[in-house]
């Protein structure tokens, strides 16, 4: 057997640009055999792009990748797997009605080798390695979350990789379940595997890894031994201290201190939300910060009437919001959902119908006759869209599916604006929209607060929170962990609070 | 070109690029692609009506008397019953739901109204109203509650309901044929005409216009389309999804019951399990319709074209002398051809 270099994978000067965005700039990064390296960074720092390149999903514009000392160029995920690089994605792809064994073997059929032991035998060996042997016949449906995660890892191991990239392997796990995954990772490392551990949970990164690579804005900004780091230092590296000043930051609105519009007291909805209290006053923009999965979205869904809390009190202007989205709307809560493709857009519907879907009474021939006057509706909708600077003008009659993402978001925003509510909830209001649209949406949000409404903006981007919010509530692991206000609202502070809690 | 990842999480860079692609067609590569897309879109919109015209030309040349006034009247009369049902079904399909209890509803409506007027000698109008209320509204309500509020699967619910309705046909008719004894006014309405146009054709057109207005111009119709297009988005917008579904099932059953009632007047006879057979023709019509005018969407105008295609095929083949059973074969074949056609057009548009 030829001696193998200890270097399992080496990335040199890799760059990748998308139209208008430089996703990676001269990124270099290496992992040795029998080593676990942490890869950390903000949303949009470039971790996902790097993962996609190493997984063969994307090709770099420049730079080289070597696996086991030999240069590789991946044209497809299959190429990466053949070269021995396996990405275990964050999102589970488990088929609930198949057994654990079948789930592990999923997709392996075509790659079965004629010379090695049969697939069944290999699955059994890997399962034994991961402590899953007793559960092979069990349906995946009943498996614990950590087991499901291990199934994903087992599926990757079936490809016999030398390098594994684990993307947020513990994100959906309860702390008590994490240990089990860690044991497996440690075991793999001892067997010579090179592992990249991608996570927002800094404690876990520090506990598990020997080195940490920090990315920010498409670059590697630090590479340090884990032993020399602590949580605070690491979160500083991730946030970067030079970006504290933000020109876009608005002057705090003059919030009337006593005029509380919305009060949440000890909201619980398991498993995601474990205790959230917050208040929203008239004329105020409250930022809701937190990592993905910290429970922000669920909190807003509860206030919007889409989910009901298990425990806790939730009142708008002193009254409960009722049991449905409809009743919350009547109570004065407007809501712009996250994930517009699934939660907002009806592709075949016109822009006008989308905007007035919540309430079209004012366009009826008569309040009691639900026949709509399209002309009047289109005129009104176009007027609101013009206020959001939606181009091209006169889009009311176009179908939603023909609009760009930014314009779709503006249409959904227009619906919220027309609600004439007291409380406005915006979940990731500028997710996946261009810079210009982002500015228009921000302007509209500020205008609402200036007009005396109470606004909550939930965002995973701390610069957006800082740009908009007068006050920030930070969610961590389902709990409203921290509150920042006044001069304490800086990007570094928000980011750090998100990571540390 | 590199193969794009099939799904990129929204909000990351992949999302941005998808957005950029969807903005107005000012990109340099636009003209050629645009023309192909336009051609595919046009073919999609008028392809099916073109087939209809072609069929008419072929039958006019091959079948004697196809274009005779009396045959044209026959075609429209034959189309009236499936039209009413298909219009109702279009509402249901627009919401993204299915109703397979159509034959049961139509058949039971025929039986109930016949028993009331011919056996019990009830006055025509109250008898019709009672039939529509019991068979149309109650069955639709039951379907709607089970599907909309309990969240049961519409396919299996309406199959089960259909079976129950067929049972009721025996119970209510006491398993005996009803023959004759229908009031004259009822029969003359179902068989009569205004000038050359049969009453039931006029009624079908009126119902089509009413439902079209409902779908296109009212709050409820919009909510139905929103529920069908993206139920979660509709719910988040504040639409009461369950209630909307109940209304849709009621409208569907009610229109089917109307067809069943008129069928009784036209036949002046009723017997269990020998009511209107509208299930396949109305589904065929709706799905052919979804490949017409507004491609990919169920729409009333398209549904009517679909009904005409099915009816004219049956009529033309009969005139040529093709055996009766072949109608089943050909109706099935037409549905498959239309679905394939719609799929191909959609794929070409996506590719362009």
Among B4-8, B65-69, B115-119, B175-179, the least confident range? B4-8
Tell me the torsion sign for CA atoms A112, A117, A120, A126: negative
The DSSP H or E segment spanning B199 is helix B199-217
Q: Which of A325, A390, A391 to mutate to test the interface with B (most CBs of B within 10 A)?
A: A325
Residue range B234-262: mean pLDDT, rounded: 96
| pLDDT digit string, tens, across residues A387-403 | 888 877 788 888 888 88
On chain A, the residues whose CB falls within 8 A of the CB of B218 are: 370-372
Pairing relationship of beta strands A471-476 and A479-485 according to DSSP bridges: antiparallel
The candidate with the shortest Cα–Cα distance to A460, out of A237, A289, A272, is A289
Q: How far is CA A21 from CA A25, A219, A258, A434, B4, in A?
A: 11, 13, 44, 11, 17
Quote the distance between the C-alpha of residue A388 and its chain's center.
26
Closest CA to B252 of B134, B101, B81, B131: B101
- Give A-chain residues touching B226 at CB under 8 angstroms: 346, 349, 353, 357
Q: Do B222 and A353 touch (CB under 8 A)?
A: yes
pLDDT tens profile A174-186? 777 788 889 889 9
Q: Please determine, for residue B350, whether its predicted confidence score (pLDDT) is greater than 70.
A: no
Report yes or no: B23 at the A interface, CB cutoff 8 Å.
yes
pLDDT above 90 coverage of chain B, percent:
57
Tokens of A384: 């609101």
B219: nearest CB among A335, A339, A372? A372
* CB contacts, 8 Å: B2 with chain A: 58-59
Q: Is B229 on the interface with A (CB under 8 A)?
A: yes
Q: Which residues of A touch B234 (CB under 8 A)?
A: 346, 357
Test A18 with B296 for CB contact under 8 angstroms: no
* Confidence band for B37, pLDDT divided at 50, 70 and 90: low
Give the model confidence (pLDDT) of A233-275 as tens digits: 888 888 775 443 344 455 555 555 568 889 999 999 988 888 9
Q: Which of A326-330, A401-405, B286-290 has the lowest mean pLDDT?
A: A401-405
Chain B: residue whose CA lies nearest to A431? B11
Distance CA B243, CA B191 (A): 37
Q: In whole angstroms, what is the distance from residue A75 CA to residue A252 CA?
A: 51
Contact yes or no for B16 and A434 at CB 8 A: yes
Q: Are A472 and A483 in contact (CB under 8 A)?
A: yes
pLDDT at A241: 57
The Cα–Cα gap between A432 and A469 comes to 20
pLDDT 10s digits, A329-377: 989 999 999 888 889 999 889 999 999 998 888 888 887 888 888 888 8
From the CA of A469, how many Å to the nearest CA of chain B? Answer: 21
Evaluate if residue B220 carries a pLDDT over 90. yes
Percentage of residues in chain B with pLDDT exceeding 70? 85
Q: For residues A88, A93, A95 and A101, what is the CA-based torsion angle, rounded to 10 degrees?
A: 0
Say yes or no to pLDDT of B93 above 70.
yes
Spatial distance between the Cα atoms of A59 and A16, rounded to a whole number of angstroms: 8
* pLDDT value at B219 more than 70: yes
Tens digits of residue pLDDT in A388-444: 888 777 888 888 888 878 889 999 999 998 888 899 999 999 887 777 788 889 999
User: DSSP assignment, residue B305?
Assistant: H
**Contact residues, chain B, for A359 at CB < 8 Å:** 238
DSSP string covering A63-104: EEEEETTEEE--SSHHHHHHHTEEEE-SS----TTSBHHHHH
**Quick one: A373 exposed, middle or buried, by C-beta within 10 A (0-12, 13-18, 19+)?**
middle
State the pTM of this model.
0.76
**In this structure, what DSSP letter does residue A403 have?**
S
**A262: nearest Cα among A285, A233, A236:** A285
What residues of chain B lie within 8 A of the CB of A347, using their CB? 229-230
Residue in chain B lying closest to A56 (CA) = B5
Helix or strand holding residue A476 (H, E): strand A471-476
| Nearest-Cα residue of chain B relative to residue A430 | B11
Q: Which two tokens stand for residue B261?
A: 């009632």
Q: Which residues pair with A268 in a beta bridge?
A: A311
**B321 backbone φψ class: left, alpha, beta (φ>0; ψ -120 to 50):** left
Go through A40-52 and write b for each residue having 16 or more CB atoms within 10 A of its CB, e for each that does not: bbbebbbbbbbbb
* pLDDT interval class at B337 (50, 70, 90): confident
What number is the average pLDDT over the span B321-336?
Answer: 78
Region A105-121 average pLDDT? 71
The DSSP symbol for A2 reads P
Over range A14-31, report the average pLDDT. 85
Secondary structure (3-state) at A334 = strand
- Cβ of B236 within 8 Å of Cβ of A325? The answer is yes
Nearest CA in chain A to B215: A371
Residue A109 binned pLDDT confidence (cut-offs 50, 70, 90): low
Domains of chain B: 47-351 (1.10.3470)
B301 alpha carbon, distance to own chain's centre: 11
CB-based contact (8 Å) between A431 and chain B? yes
Nearest to A404 among B23, B223, B235 (CB): B23
Structure tokens at B251: 């409208």
Bridge partners of A269? A273
Pairing of strands A369-372, A364-366: antiparallel
Does B27 have pLDDT greater than 70? no
- Predicted pLDDT of residue B7: 36
Q: Which of A207-216, A354-363, B22-31, B65-74 has the lowest mean pLDDT?
A: B22-31
For residue A130, the model assigns a pLDDT of 85
Spatial separation of the C-alpha atoms in residues B4 and B42, rounded to whole Å: 29
φ, ψ of residue A47 in degrees (nearest 5): -60, -45
Q: Which of A475, A413, A419 is nearest to A442 (CA)?
A: A413
Amino acid A196: pLDDT: 95
Report residue A86's pLDDT band, with 50, 70 and 90 as the boundaries: very high
pLDDT band per the 50, 70, 90 thresholds, residue A164: very high
Q: Quick one: CA dihedral B263, B266, B269, B273, positive or negative?
A: negative
Enumerate helices (H) and strands (E) in chain A, giving the number of each: 17, 22
Measured CA distances, A129 to A107, A118, A123, A148 (Å)? 20, 17, 10, 15
Backbone φ and ψ of A428, nearest 5°:
45, 60
**What's the pLDDT at A249?**
52
B24 reaches A (C-beta below 8 A): yes
Quote the pLDDT of residue A391.
75
DSSP-assigned beta bridge partners for residue A263 = A279, A315
Q: CB–CB of B303/B144 below 8 Å?
A: no
Of A357-361, B72-76, B264-268, the poorest mean pLDDT is in A357-361
Q: Chain B: residue nearest A48 by CA?
A: B12
CA dihedral sign of residues A341, A344, A346, A350: negative
Q: Are A313 and A265 in contact (CB under 8 A)?
A: yes
Q: Which residue of B has its CA nearest to A419?
A: B237
Task: Say if residue B20's pLDDT is above 70.
Answer: no
Residue A341, chain B, CB below 8 Å: the answer is yes
Q: What is the mean pLDDT of residues B156-182?
A: 93
Helix/strand number for chain B, H first, E second = 15, 4
Whole-angstrom distance, CA of residue A482 vs CA of residue B211: 55
A311 interfacial to chain B (CB closer than 8 Å): no
How far is it, in rounded angstroms, from Cα B70 to Cα B73?
5
Q: What is the mean pLDDT of chain A?
A: 85
Instruction: Provide φ and ψ at A71, rounded to 5°.
Output: -65, 140
Residue B2: pLDDT band (50, 70, 90) is: very low
Confidence of residue A43 (pLDDT cuts 50, 70, 90): low
Question: Does residue A20 register a pLDDT over 70?
Answer: no
Best probe of the A interface among B237, B298, B346, by most A CBs < 10 A, is: B237
Residue B124: pLDDT over 70: yes
Residue among A448, A450, A412 nearest A429 (CA): A412
Taking the CA of residue A356 and the nearest CA in chain B, the distance in Å comes to 9
Which H or E element spans position A195?
strand A194-198
* Confidence at residue A370, expressed as pLDDT on a 0 to 100 scale: 81
Per DSSP, A289 falls in state E
- Report the range of poorest mean pLDDT among A102-111, B8-17, B92-101, B252-261: B8-17
Closest C-alpha to A213, from A234, A193, A227, A194: A234
Burial class (CB in 10 A: 0-12, 13-18, 19+), A274: middle
Helix (H, G, I), strand (E, B) or coil at A162: coil
Closest partner residue to A345 (CB to CB) among B13, B223, B230 is B230
User: CB contact, 8 Å: A347 with chain B?
Assistant: yes
pLDDT digits (tens, 9 = 90+) for A438-490: 888 999 999 998 888 899 999 988 888 988 999 999 998 888 888 888 888 88
- Residue in A with minimal Cα distance to B5: A57
Report the alpha-carbon distance of residue B15 to residue B21 in Å, rounded: 10
Strand partners, A194: A35, A163
Q: Is B65 on the interface with A (CB under 8 A)?
A: no
């Amino acid at each position: 057997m030829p001696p193998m270099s200890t270097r399992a994978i080496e990335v040199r000067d890799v760059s990748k640009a998308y139209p208008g965005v430089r996703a990676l700039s001269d990124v270099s990064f290496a992992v040795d055999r029998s080593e676990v390296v942490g890869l950390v960074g903000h949303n949009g720092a470039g971790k996902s792009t790097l993962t996609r390149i190493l997984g063969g999903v994307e090709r770099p514009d420049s730079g080289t990748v070597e696996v086991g000392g030999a240069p590789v160029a991946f044209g497809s995920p299959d190429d990466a797997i053949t070269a021995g690089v396996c990405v275990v994605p964050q999102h589970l792809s488990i088929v609930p009605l198949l057994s654990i064994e079948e789930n592990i073997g999923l997709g392996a059929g075509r790659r079965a080798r004629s010379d090695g032991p049969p697939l069944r035998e290999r699955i059994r060996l890997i399962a034994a390695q991961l402590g899953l042997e007793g559960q092979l016949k069990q349906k995946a449906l009943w498996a614990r979350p950590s087991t499901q995660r291990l199934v994903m890892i087992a599926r990757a191991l079936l490809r016999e990789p030398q390098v594994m990239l684990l993307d947020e392997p513990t994100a959906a796990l309860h702390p008590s379940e994490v240990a089990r995954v860690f044991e497996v990772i440690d075991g793999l490392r001892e067997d010579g595997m090179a592992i990249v551990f991608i996570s927002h949970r800094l404690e876990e990164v520090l506990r598990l890894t020997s080195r940490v690579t920090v990315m920010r804005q498409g670059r590697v900004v630090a590479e340090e031994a884990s032993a020399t780091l602590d949580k605070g230092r690491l979160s500083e590296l991730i946030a970067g201290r030079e970006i504290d000043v933000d020109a876009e930051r608005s002057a705090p609105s003059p919030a009337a201190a006593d005029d509380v519009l919305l009060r949440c007291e000890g909201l619980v909805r398991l498993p995601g939300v474990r205790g959230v209290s917050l208040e929203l006053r008239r004329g105020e923009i409250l930022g809701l910060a937190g990592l993905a999965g910290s429970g922000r979205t669920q909190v807003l869904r509860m206030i919007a009437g889409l989910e009901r809390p298990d425990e806790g009190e939730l009142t708008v202007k002193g009254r409960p919001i009722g049991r449905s989205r409809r009743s919350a709307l009547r109570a004065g809560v407007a809501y712009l959902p996250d994930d517009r493709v699934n939660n907002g857009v009806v592709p075949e519907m016109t822009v006008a119908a989308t905007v007035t879907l919540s309430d079209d009474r004012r366009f009826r021939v008569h309040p009691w006759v639900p026949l709509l006057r399209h002309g009047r509706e289109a005129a009104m909708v176009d007027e609101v869209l013009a206020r959001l600077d939606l181009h091209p003008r006169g889009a009311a009659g176009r179908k939603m599916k023909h609009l760009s993402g930014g314009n779709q978001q503006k249409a959904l925003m227009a619906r919220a604006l027309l609600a004439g509510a007291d409380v406005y909830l915006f979940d990731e209001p500028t997710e996946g929209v261009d810079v210009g649209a982002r500015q228009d949406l921000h302007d509209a949000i500020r205008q609402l607060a200036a007009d005396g409404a109470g606004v909550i903006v939930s965002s995973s981007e701390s610069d957006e929170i800082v740009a908009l919010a007068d006050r920030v509530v930070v969610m961590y692991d389902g709990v409203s962990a921290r509150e920042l206000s006044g001069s304490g609202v800086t990007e570094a502070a928000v980011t750090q609070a998100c990571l540390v809690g | 070109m590199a193969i794009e990842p099939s799904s990129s999480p929204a909000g990351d860079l992949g999302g941005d690029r998808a957005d950029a692609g969807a903005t107005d067609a000012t990109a340099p590569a636009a003209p050629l692609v645009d023309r192909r897309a336009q051609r595919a879109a046009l073919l999609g919109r008028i392809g099916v009506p073109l087939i209809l015209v072609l069929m008419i030309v072929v039958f006019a040349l091959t079948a004697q008397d196809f274009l005779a006034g009396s045959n044209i009247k026959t075609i429209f009369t034959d189309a009236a019953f499936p039209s009413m049902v298909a219009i109702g079904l279009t509402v249901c399909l627009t919401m993204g739901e299915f109703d397979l209890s159509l034959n049961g509803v139509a058949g039971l409506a025929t039986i109930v109204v016949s028993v009331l007027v011919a056996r019990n000698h009830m006055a025509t109008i109250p008898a019709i109203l009672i039939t529509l209320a019991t068979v149309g509204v109650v069955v639709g309500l039951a379907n709607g509650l089970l599907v909309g509020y309990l969240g049961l699967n519409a396919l299996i619910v309406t199959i089960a309901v259909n079976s129950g309705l067929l049972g009721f046909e025996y119970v209510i008719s006491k398993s005996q044929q009803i023959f004759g004894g229908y009031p004259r006014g009822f029969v003359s309405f179902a068989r009569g005409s205004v000038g050359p146009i049969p009453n039931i054709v006029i009624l079908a057109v009126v119902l089509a216009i009413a439902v079209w207005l409902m779908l296109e111009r009212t709050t409820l119709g919009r909510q139905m389309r929103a529920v069908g297009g993206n139920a979660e988005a509709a719910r988040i917008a504040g639409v009461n999804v369950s209630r909307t579904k109940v209304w849709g099932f009621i409208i569907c059953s009610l229109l089917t019951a109307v067809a069943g009632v008129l069928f009784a007047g036209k036949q002046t006879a009723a017997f269990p399990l020998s009511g209107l057979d509208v299930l396949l023709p109305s589904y065929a019509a709706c799905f052919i319709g979804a490949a017409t005018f507004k491609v990919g969407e169920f729409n009333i105008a398209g549904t009517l074209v679909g009904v005409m295609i099915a009816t004219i095929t049956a009529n033309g083949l009969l005139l040529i002398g093709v055996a009766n059973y072949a109608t089943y074969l050909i109706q099935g074949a037409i549905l498959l051809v239309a679905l394939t056609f719609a799929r191909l057009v959609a794929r070409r548009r996506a590719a362009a």
